[in-house]
Amino acid sequence: AQSVAQPEDQVNVAEGNPLTVKCTYSVSGNPYLFWYVQYPNRGLQFLLKYITGDNLVKGSYGFEAEFNKSQTSFHLKKPSALVSDSALYFCAQGSGNTPLVFGKGTRLSVIA
Amino acid sequence: DSGVTQTPKHLITATGQRVTLRCSPRSGDLSVYWYQQSLDQGLQFLIQYYNGEERAKGNILERFSAQQFPDLHSELNLSSLELGDSALYFCASSPDVAGGPAGELFFGEGSRLTVL
């Protein structure tokens, strides 16, 4: 069964500093990998995806993620964090014909 | 705005009761997914319907059931409610059985259920 691990419950970063939110996935053929963001009292919003191709994927709001097959990781990154980036971030894995499996989420807090 | 509508937004009820949560997918989307979000379990997949038929089943309790109607809206029925059922229930939709063109799902804003 597919599984996604987000090893950090909470990530704190100062505004303007780079941020990384970690995700590792289970090996299952060619994974489809996603990042979603959840702002308070809102549903999840799609940020970016990796299906195939370039290992560095660019998404919304200046976020990017790097697919690393040897480490089975798909870490979310942003060069310069904003206070407005503070939210709950979910990594998810799919296979193209099964519903997405989500990690438990990482709460990002960007401090001014 | 994702285009997915969920009602009610908030619901407070007592143990042993039954509630129904409703979801209207984005226009044209045939797949509806239900997820449960709780503090200790994260986001758990419950069930998926595609064009009226059950497509995939996840960690859905026997006390819970769902259906998708001909107009593609879906309802999640939760019965014999327990304190532990308190959670945020999300509906998501996509155009096809395997997710959107990029595999992504479009989420509603959720229904927060509190069982007292």
Quick check: A74 and A56 in contact, CB under 8 A?
A: no
Q: Where are the beta strands (DSSP E) in chain A?
A: 4-5, 10-14, 19-21, 24-25, 32-38, 44-50, 56-58, 64-68, 73-78, 87-94, 101-102, 106-111
Residue in chain A closest to B101 (alpha carbons) equals: A96
- Local confidence band at B107 (pLDDT 50, 70, 90 cut-offs): very high
pLDDT one-digit tens code per residue, A76-91: 999 999 999 999 999 9
| pLDDT < 70 positions in chain A | 1, 28, 96-97
pLDDT one-digit tens code per residue, B15-64: 999 999 999 999 989 999 999 998 777 889 999 999 999 998 998 999 99
Q: What is the pLDDT of residue A26?
A: 87
Distance of residue B14 Cα from the nearest chain A Cα, in angstroms: 23
Contacts of A97 in chain B (CB under 8 A): 97-98
What average pLDDT is seen over chain B?
Answer: 91
Residues in a beta bridge with B65:
B77
Q: What is the pLDDT of residue A42?
A: 86
Distance of residue B15 Cα from the nearest chain A Cα, in angstroms: 25
Residue A99 in contact with partner chain B when CB distance is under 8 A: yes
